Amino acid sequence: MSSALRVASAGVKKHGRGKAVRMNATGIEFHKSKGQHILKNPHIIDSIVQKSGIKSTDVVLEIGPGTGNLTAKLLEVAKKVIAYEVDPRMVLELQRRFQGTPQASQLQIVQGDVLKQDLPYFDVCVSNTPYQISSPLTFKLLSHRPLFRAAILMFQREFAMRLVAKPNESLYCRLTVNTQLLARVSHLLKVGKNNFKPPPKVESSVVRIEPRHPPVQVNFTEWDGLVRLCFSRKNKTLGAIFKQNACLDLLEKNYRKFLQLEASGAIAGPAAGGSEGEGMDILDQKRLGITDLADRSKFKDYVLGILKEGEFGDRRSSKLNQDDFLELLARFNAAGIHFR
């Protein structure tokens, strides 16, 4: 979705199979296929800026500025705004709008796909996000270093509610767990589809994302591998998920690799990889050796034994919180089972 823009519809132009593309007063066409919906309510723009908590010393990253109504409001409160815009027509409109104004020196416009570029330093991000890049943009921001203070992002309502979901709620999912591992997420504002022109098919919401500082000390690739497996059937018990052949095949392959690396001295012991498992009596049963893996039933019992030790076998992913997943990952890693 393009940035918050307040423009009047100056007409409708027909394209292709009669599909209408609404135009703003300057004649710029806005394409639904590119997520270009115009936010026509100035009160929402003001609310977004207010809730962003921008300081006069802040550098603000804006994604999808469109013709610049939100940009103008951001420039009133920030030291500098760096605006990423993929549409060259919008870039020209931004340049025309701010050229020769006192705010021109505060604005840096970058033309291109934000997902394909390295991000600069920034304190706060504000984005009326194109819905098709919601997930990759969120994790690109959360992987950025140095850590920023907050991101205020407009998303499709359902996506936003997945980000803030709690265990045992219907929208609680892998996206929820991964995001909340890296950041605190709060819902700020509902935005109805009638606030846009042309209106999208869905409702929208604005959320605030604050990266955890310091970050949780966990290998994110390992974490995501575990969470992906757990949420493949989130309403099944973990015992049922981890005894499936496809899951056992993957874990056994990784376990063989772990034993080979341990034997070669490339890693040092069952808790290799950091703090996972330190200070915990993780596993009472003896670890399996390479020769034991000839019997699939032994490895299956080994995996299920790890779940039993932590009393996870009868639990469901949809009811586990962050600490539960961290403990589960620590138990598997300490037993030599990895997820990358």
Angle at Cα 119 formed by Cα 213 and Cα 125, nearest 5°? 60
**Angle between helical axes of 174-182 and 322-334 (0-180°, round to 10):** 90
Binding site per annotation, positions for S-adenosyl-L-methionine: 37, 39, 64, 85, 113, 128
- Where do runs of H (alpha helix) occur along the chain? 42-52, 69-77, 88-98, 134-142, 157-163, 174-182, 220-230, 238-242, 245-264, 296-309, 322-334
- CA separation for the pair 217, 340 (Å, rounded): 16
Termini Cα distance of the chain: 34
Binding site per annotation, positions: 37, 39, 64, 85, 113, 128
Residue 147's alpha-carbon distances to 120, 129, 184, 212, 245, in angstroms, are 11, 20, 13, 9, 40
Q: Which residues contact 108 (CB under 8 A, 6 or more apart)?
A: 80, 81, 82, 83
Sign, CA dihedral 134-140-146-147, equals: positive
DSSP 123: S
Instruction: Retrieve residue 111's tokens.
Output: 């033309």
Residue 128's alpha-carbon distances to 58, 165, 288, 323, 326, in angstroms, are 19, 21, 52, 32, 33
Instruction: Retrieve residue 298's tokens.
Output: 């032994």
Residue at 217: amino acid letter = Q
